Amino acid sequence: MKIQTKDAGIFLVLLFFGIFFVLSFTTREDTYAFLNSAPSFECMDCHIGAEDYVIDIMLEGMPERYEPSKTYELKLIIRSDLESISDIKGGFAAQATAGELLEKDELNTQISGDYLTHTMEGNKYREWTIGWKAPQVADERVDIEVMVVAANGDYSPSMDAVGFETFRTDPE
Ligand code: HEC
């Protein structure tokens, strides 16, 4: 009888740790999502504390006037005086109001939901090659909207600089 109670006790302790282990694992997976991708424009909700740093965003290769259905290779570049203390340097999320954003560089960028964003590999950079396929009918002005984080590399959302920019192109 005594032994049985002890067994039950051990079982409960194991069960408790088991549940705790599973829970900690799920939470970790959730937060890892941000090193891995950030498919939203809400970076500023979490990444705060480095508002005094300069952050400039450029999109090289963006045409002033676009040709219908043409695929453009663009280079998204973040410049910031906020330096990173590790391999992790930054991330982004981008959307186009028309046409289609493409994964030109599958190692460092990915489509996730409605956004083009960085991958686990891609967070090591502050520049990424991205693709944009112009709409078939060139009858509208298109905005490519970009939200970026210049990371301080501490594996947390604190003390990272956030920037937003809209890049515009018109039909021929
Ligand atoms: C809901 C909160 C939240 C939002 C929104 C969010 N992040 Fe994060 N981000 C985190 C957390 C938490 C981490 C810590 C590392 C991890 O677990 O992924 C992080 C880490 C990062 C890192 C590494 C930071 C460092 O200093 O090491 C980058 C880069 C990053 N996020 C980019 C972005 C970008 C870009 C956006 C918006 C497009 C964004 N995140 C939106 C919570 C968020």
Which of 80, 89, 77 has the alpha carbon at shortest distance from 152?
89
Which residue reads 């740790």 in tokens? 17
- Alpha-carbon span 161 to 142, nearest angstrom: 26
For the purposes of burial, counting CB atoms within 10 Å of the CB of 21, is it exposed (0-12), middle (13-18) or buried (19 or more)? exposed
CA of 114 to the centre of ligand 1 (A): 18
Query: Does residue 159 line the site of ligand 1, with CB under 6 A?
Result: no
- φ, ψ (nearest 5 deg) of residue 170: -110, 155
User: Which residue has the CA at smallest separation from atom 6 of ligand 1?
Assistant: 43
Rounded to two decimals, the pTM is 0.84
Which residues pair with residue 128 across a beta bridge?
A: 76
User: Which residue has the CA at smallest separation from atom 43 of ligand 1?
Assistant: 46
Query: Does residue 89 line the site of ligand 1, with CB under 6 A?
Result: no
**Helices within 1-122 (DSSP H only):** 2-36, 43-46
Q: Which ligand 1 atom minimizes the distance to the CA of 92?
A: 35
> Cβ atoms within 10 A of the Cβ of 30, count?
9
Domains of the chain with bracketed CATH: 37-171 (2.60.40.830)
Predicted confidence pLDDT, tens digits, the chain (172 residues): 555 667 777 666 666 666 555 554 444 444 446 898 888 999 999 999 999 999 999 999 999 999 999 999 999 999 999 999 999 999 999 999 999 999 999 999 999 999 999 999 999 999 999 999 999 999 999 999 999 999 999 999 999 999 999 999 999 9
